[in-house]
Amino acid sequence: MDAFFFIDKPTGQTSFQVLRDMRKILWVKKIGHSGTLDPLATGGLLVAIGQYTKLIPYVEKDSKSYLADIMLDGSSPSYDSDSEVNYIPVLKQQESKTSITTEKLEEIFKEHFHGHILQVPPKYSALKINGKRALERVKAGEDIVMKERKAEILSYKIVSFEYPKLVVEISVSAGTYVRSIAHDLWEILGTGGYLSALRRIWVGRLDISLSTRLDDVEDSKKLDILELFPKKVFLFQDEVVLKRLSDGQRVWGEYDFPTEQDIFLFDGDVIRYVVEYKDSVLHPRKKVV
């Protein structure tokens, strides 16, 4: 099988565990996803099966949107409630309940959490340091230092706030850690900040309504490839040309294709090749199926 699935990941499972379960359900070996979700998180996990794993680079940089529950009454080493929460004193909580308002949070987000920002990823993460996940290094007792890196917050909306819980809908660039946003909010407020819940509701153009529960996965639930890549997939059924591309040959011809970008040649059943059309020549980039 060569396909994409949009899985509604349940809480408590790692993204790797979802892939492991899908291997068993669909009897496939080759499988991958376009962006890790933490065990605490739920929501959209875009999964590629078979030869379509070769197309993951074309979706892994897609923006993602989340619904985040941020608690302002403590902090944790993992920046979420999956590790022990250190609550601030009751008196400090009472003060914060009075001093932290929705208006104040709006000002903070506008100043610190909008557009291009710098953030430090959590040590408790799948981010690799010299080939080994940061989380594994922490559990092994290593003292690691996470480097600051660029991120982008595309939009945000405060859905509700009643101390200590802030609910915010936020859209971010790939690789942005919402947990770090919660942690940075804690440092700005001087009170607390950690995630108690996180749900990914969009991946690129896919919203969570298009997702499938893991226990409902079957062949009929796969995504329509034309909808997943609407500007990249083009119907192409010239077997002579496809054979030449398969042999690594460039092919001259007048085609109604966008130029100087990777496009996918679709034979009506599967995506066969990734090519670039430049100067009236099809340049083979990658054989898919």
**CA-wise closest residue to 120 among 43, 66, 204, 180:** 180
Give me the phi and psi of 106, to 5 degrees please.
-60, -45
Instruction: Outline where 113-224 has alpha helix (H).
Output: 134-139, 178-189
Q: Helix, strand or coil for residue 4?
A: strand
CA–CA dist 65, 155 (Å, integer): 9
Query: What contacts 6, CB < 8 A, 6 or more positions away?
Result: 44, 45, 46, 47, 203, 206, 210, 211, 212, 223
CA–CA dist 31, 47 (Å, integer): 7
Give yes or no: 262 in active site.
no
CA distances from 234 to 46, 248, 255 (A): 22, 19, 11
User: How many CA atoms are closer than 13 Å to the CA of 176, on its beta-carbon side?
Assistant: 28
**Preceding amide of 164 cis, omega within 30:** yes
CA–CA dist 136, 270 (Å, integer): 38
Q: Which of 2, 8, 38, 82 is catalytic?
A: 38
User: How many CA atoms are closer than 13 Å to the CA of 73, on its beta-carbon side?
Assistant: 18
CA–CA dist 276, 260 (Å, integer): 6
| Number of residues assigned to the chain | 289
Q: List the structure tokens of 79.
A: 């920046």
Q: Which residues are catalytic?
A: 38
